[in-house]
Chain A
Amino acid sequence: MSFKPDDCVTLGHGSGGRAMHELIHEFIVEKFANSQLSELEDQARIPLAQLAEYGSQLAFSTDSYVVDPLFFPGADIGKLAICGTVNDLAVGGATPLFLTCSLIIEEGLSFTVLNDVLDSMRRAALHAGVKIITGDTKVVGRGQCDKLFINTAGIGVIDPSYNLSAGHCKSGDCIIVNGFIGDHGAAVLAARGDVAIQTNVQSDCQALHDLIAEMLKVCPDIRCIRDATRGGVATVLNEFSRASSVVIEIDERSVPIRPEVQAICELLGLDPLYLANEGTLVCVAPQHAAQQLLSTMRKHPKGQHSQIIATVSDANEPIVSMRTVFGSSRIVDMLEGEQLPRIC
């Protein structure tokens, strides 16, 4: 299907007629070309034997992507929709294999934009080694959604030797992040244009499956991994602390934050610990394995700036605290809602 630069998606493209047929068959299916998708049944079919090659447990996850703007420094909604779901699978120790792709398109979206987003999804899926094997497309009236929403669900398979869970943290464990925190949140905030900030900060959006595979190879008894998306690193640490009933103490000096991100946060009164990330993982590892794991991570291109940022200890009450640069201590709780910029 060819389109001119000015062509837009109309309600007709979602009405079940020829226009929709062309959009799906000649545009979307062609982009993601693979044998399972091309069969165009109402469901994708996956031979169980193919899954069993990777392990014994199925991992299944879904996420919806509604970012504004659709394109921002370092990534776009398409890349995000692939990496986000791939990461949700990978942090459970799964090898990500198959994704679905549901598009909800606001009428009037230009075909150029849709084309760019789908291209980005194709590239990201290729990089992450996953296939998009089924999907759905809806077009809604103006104002009923904001330009483009994407949902992806994913299937992966977990090797039986891994058993990752937020409830497995133990006293003495070390907590590692794979690099600078808050880049995605800061990049999107700046790209949104509400604040006149010019910055070179790029979203960290990336699929973490290959880094995680390396990590599990050198340290199969990693307690748990989460990707620190909405709510940031602070929220993930609070989830760990509650699930395992442990105290987590962050060392402020060791938290990797880019000066640009720090500056944006200082300016707007935000805390980088709560900024969203899209390619940052938080990993809890037993103390004896932490250094080796850290050096493995640092050798990987997606983990060059890895740091041990916190330690786990026993206590009566699950709490996340921060040892500040001055040696004093404060609580780092979950946020009640969105972080709101301060007035002055």
Chain B
Amino acid sequence: MQYVDEFRNPDVARKLASEITELSSMLMQDRNRPLQIMEFCGGHTHTIFRFGLQQLLPQHIQLVHGPGCPVCVLPRGCIDVAIQLANQANVIFTTFGDAMRVPGSQQSLLQAKAAGADIRMVYSPLDALALARANPDREVIFFALGFETTMPSTALTVLEASREGIDNFSLFCHHITTVPTMTAILQDPDMRLDGFIAPGHVSMVVGDKPFEFVGAEFKKPLVITGFEPLDILQSIWMLLKQLSEGRSEVENQYTRVVSAKGNPAGLAAMSDVFEPRERSAWRGIGDIEQSGVQLTDAYKHFDAEYKFSPDHAMVEDPTACHCGDVLKGAMQPWQCPLFGNECQPKHPLGALMVSSEGACAAYYRYADINALKDKQPAQRITL
């Protein structure tokens, strides 16, 4: 298949892997701990596991799976509010498919649907808006999820709803942003990461500027990366190259999609419709300031929370759950005592076991668990 096969060529992969080994072996001469590279985005985690990329790398390169799966970081309280909204009379609640199985404190959306709530899976916020048009006597709520990748489509949908004067459409807005979270990771005193594989689709929207602080302030190299296996291998090589030359810059490996300016039309729509929220809750991590968005005053009437004032009860993460440590790259999934025992894809305790982009679900599905459990626990760091 064109535009896919070229980026999955095994011969090129082998060549890249051998150059990575050569370059990293040189770097290892001056260090006594492994090279740790964080892929921030869940899409990258998925590719790494699906193609077994870690197995192509030398042992002294460790890939640390970051918090960039928007479904995984949904707190239980957020799912509870979503279900509350969905359970109201006359509401059609719409959501992306992979949020359906995320556990709330009592139920998931899938269970709420089975219990009678009108919850429907959509592929785009425009599908939700079409439902609102087709059902003028019902309120259609869209569960707006995701990083900057999905934000433009939500923003444009709100603008379209406003233009058409549709008043039975609203958002339960849980969009989150990349930079504050990366900053939180970088500010941790025990942070040992050597570089970042940065999210390609987020960068397609925001461009490369927002990531410059990583090199400028924290002296870490960062490469904006595509989602095919060769993209990721090439990025690792580019990160090592920067390290070997003592550089810490933003580089763009994903030039076929990402431009330096990002997507100006998308950014304009986003800044029209959204403003930073004072703080947003992340599962396993807690509150991070300015890490999410809410609707601006001009579009507040599209905010389902404003329209329906649901209760926001504080719901703690399950106490035995180590999702937070895994999300911060401080613990490997298989080192969590719940992993594969109480917490499995069929009854996930933590959200990382839910989505195929979640690090735990990826390990559970794609890796040989018993072989992993025999490994020595890695050193833990805390945020």
Residue B13 at the chain A interface, CB threshold 8 Å: yes
CA distance A262 to B10 in the complex (A): 18
B97 touches A263 (CB 8 A): no
Residue A342 at the chain B interface, CB threshold 8 Å: yes
B98 touches A343 (CB 8 A): yes
Partner of B150, one of A269, A319, A344: A344
A194 touches B122 (CB 8 A): yes
B123 touches A341 (CB 8 A): yes
Partner of B368, one of A266, A319, A326: A319
A329-B97 contact in complex given A194-B123, A342-B355, A343-B145, C-beta closer than 8 Å: no
A344 touches B49 (CB 8 A): no
What are the interface flags for B121-137 relative to A under an 8 Å C-beta threshold, 1 for contact and 0 otherwise? 11100010000000000
CA distance A331 to B340 in the complex (A): 14
CA distance A329 to B367 in the complex (A): 8
A114 CB, nearest partner CB in chain B, Å: 27
Q: Which residues of A contact B127 (CB under 8 A)?
A: 194
A326-B10 contact in complex given A343-B146, A344-B146, C-beta closer than 8 Å: yes
A331-B56 contact in complex given A340-B97, A344-B201, C-beta closer than 8 Å: no
Q: Which residues of B contact A326 (CB under 8 A)?
A: 10, 13-14, 51-53, 56, 229
Residue B29 at the chain A interface, CB threshold 8 Å: no
CA distance A195 to B123 in the complex (A): 7
What are the interface flags for B146-180 relative to A under an 8 Å C-beta threshold, 1 for contact and 0 otherwise? 11011000000000000000000000000000000
B71 touches A343 (CB 8 A): yes
Residue A2 at the chain B interface, CB threshold 8 Å: no
Q: Which residues of A contact B344 (CB under 8 A)?
A: 336
A341-B346 contact in complex given A263-B1, A269-B356, A328-B52, C-beta closer than 8 Å: no
Q: Which residues of B contact A262 (CB under 8 A)?
A: 1, 4
CA distance A324 to B56 in the complex (A): 11
Residue of A nearest to B345 (CB): A336
A57 CB, nearest partner CB in chain B, Å: 36
Partner of A337, one of B13, B101, B367: B101
Residue of B nearest to A319 (CB): B368
B97 touches A325 (CB 8 A): no
User: Which of B51, B70, B100, B122 neighbours the largest number of chain A CB atoms within 10 Å of its CB?
Assistant: B51
- For chain B, give the interface size range: 35 or more
For chain A residues 245-279, which have a beta carbon within 8 Å of chain B?
A: 259, 262-263, 266, 268-269
CA distance A333 to B100 in the complex (A): 21
Q: Which residues of A contact B101 (CB under 8 A)?
A: 337, 340
Residue B50 at the chain A interface, CB threshold 8 Å: yes
Q: Which residues of A contact B312 (CB under 8 A)?
A: none
A328-B51 contact in complex given A262-B4, A269-B356, C-beta closer than 8 Å: yes
Partner of A329, one of B55, B70, B71, B150: B55
CA distance A317 to B4 in the complex (A): 34
Q: Which residues of A contact B365 (CB under 8 A)?
A: 331, 333
Q: Which residues of A contact B1 (CB under 8 A)?
A: 259, 262-263, 266
Residue B96 at the chain A interface, CB threshold 8 Å: yes
A325-B8 contact in complex given A195-B123, A342-B357, A344-B43, C-beta closer than 8 Å: yes
Q: Which residues of B contact A340 (CB under 8 A)?
A: 97-98, 100-101, 121
Q: Which residues of B contact A330 (CB under 8 A)?
A: 49-52, 366-367
User: Which of A195, A325, A327, A340 neighbours the largest number of chain B CB atoms within 10 Å of its CB?
Assistant: A340
Residue of A nearest to B344 (CB): A336
Residue B341 at the chain A interface, CB threshold 8 Å: no
CA distance A333 to B364 in the complex (A): 9
A232 CB, nearest partner CB in chain B, Å: 15
Interface positions of B (Cβ within 8 A of A): 1, 4, 8, 10, 13-14, 43, 46, 49-56, 70-71, 96-101, 110, 121-123, 127, 145-147, 149-150, 201, 229, 344-346, 355-357, 364-368, 370
Please, could you name 12 A-B residue pairs with CB atoms under 8 Å apart, sorted by A?
A268-B123, A321-B368, A325-B10, A326-B10, A326-B56, A328-B55, A330-B52, A331-B365, A336-B345, A340-B97, A344-B146, A344-B149
14 additional A-B residue pairs with CB within 8 Å, beyond A328-B53, A340-B98, A343-B355: A194-B122, A263-B4, A321-B368, A326-B10, A328-B51, A328-B55, A329-B52, A330-B52, A330-B367, A331-B368, A333-B365, A336-B344, A336-B346, A343-B145
